[in-house]
């Protein structure tokens, strides 16, 4: 039993380290070539749209009423059209994705500010909510004002996030591996003392 726990910890730590290395590589590539990253995000959106269309067709096949069948068919056709448009015109698609993120940031910022005054939080927590909301609103405004720059900025932010997340994954994997070795030695001593 102790051997299986040790093997599980070692396997999990290896996965974390490998995932971290992959994330670091992706982060470096995104930072080095933000234009390619924007194109990759557009292609991922197209893949998602095509995958969702397949899901909608499957839901349509499983529906019994005319209303759900027509609804799923329309959603599937919209998904297919969105995927084709994304692949045919990647630049306008990137612009739309930036505008969607801008709207999300803008609206999310207002909800954060509104939420700060609705909850029974302390004054310090309210200030943090308000500041977070204002930063989010400002980010949305900047993306609206300069969507071309916003696409590159999003690619750079994605790269930075992937880089930081990758370093964290590597560190967590190494720490988990050290913890596993310590646990293994403690369990071996405990088993030895009970004999």
**What was the pLDDT predicted at 80?**
92
33: left (phi over 0), alpha (psi -120 to 50) or beta: beta
pLDDT at 99: 85
**Over the chain, what is the mean pLDDT?**
82
Rounded Cα distance between 158 and 20, Å, is 15
Separation of alpha carbons 49 and 43, rounded Å: 10
Find, among 181, 180, 184, 179, the residue nearest to 2 by Cα.
Answer: 184
pLDDT along the chain (195 residues), means of 10: 67 83 87 84 85 85 77 87 89 84 86 78 78 87 82 81 86 84 73 68
As a residue count, the chain comes to 195
3-state secondary structure at position 126: helix
Q: Alpha-carbon distance 77 to 7, whole Å? A: 48
Residue 185 is part of which domain span? 2-194
pLDDT at 96: 84
117/129 Cα distance (integer angstroms)? 9
Tens digits of per-residue pLDDT, 104-123? 888 888 888 887 787 666 77
Domain count of the chain?
1
State pLDDT tens for residues 47-66.
888 888 888 888 788 777 77
What confidence score (pLDDT) does residue 84 get?
92
Residue 57 pLDDT: 84
């Amino acid at each position: 039993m102790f051997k299986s726990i040790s093997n599980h910890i070692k396997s999990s730590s290896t996965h974390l380290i490998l995932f971290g290395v992959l994330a670091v590589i992706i982060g470096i590539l995104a930072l080095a070539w933000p234009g390619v990253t924007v194109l990759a995000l557009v292609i991922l959106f197209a893949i998602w749209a095509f995958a969702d269309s397949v899901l909608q067709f499957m839901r349509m096949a499983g529906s019994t009423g005319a209303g759900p069948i027509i609804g799923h068919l329309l959603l599937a056709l919209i998904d297919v059209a969105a995927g084709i448009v994304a692949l045919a015109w990647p630049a306008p698609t990137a612009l739309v994705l930036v505008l969607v993120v801008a709207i999300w940031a803008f609206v999310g910022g207002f909800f954060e500010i509104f939420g700060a005054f609705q909850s029974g939080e302390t004054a310090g927590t309210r200030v943090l909510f308000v500041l977070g909301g204002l930063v989010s609103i400002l980010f949305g405004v900047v993306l609206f004002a300069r969507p071309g720059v916003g696409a590159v900025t999003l690619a750079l932010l994605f790269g930075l996030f992937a880089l930081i997340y990758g370093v964290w994954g590597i560190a967590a994997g190494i720490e988990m591996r050290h913890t596993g070795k310590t646990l293994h030695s403690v369990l071996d001593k405990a088993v030895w003392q009970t004999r």
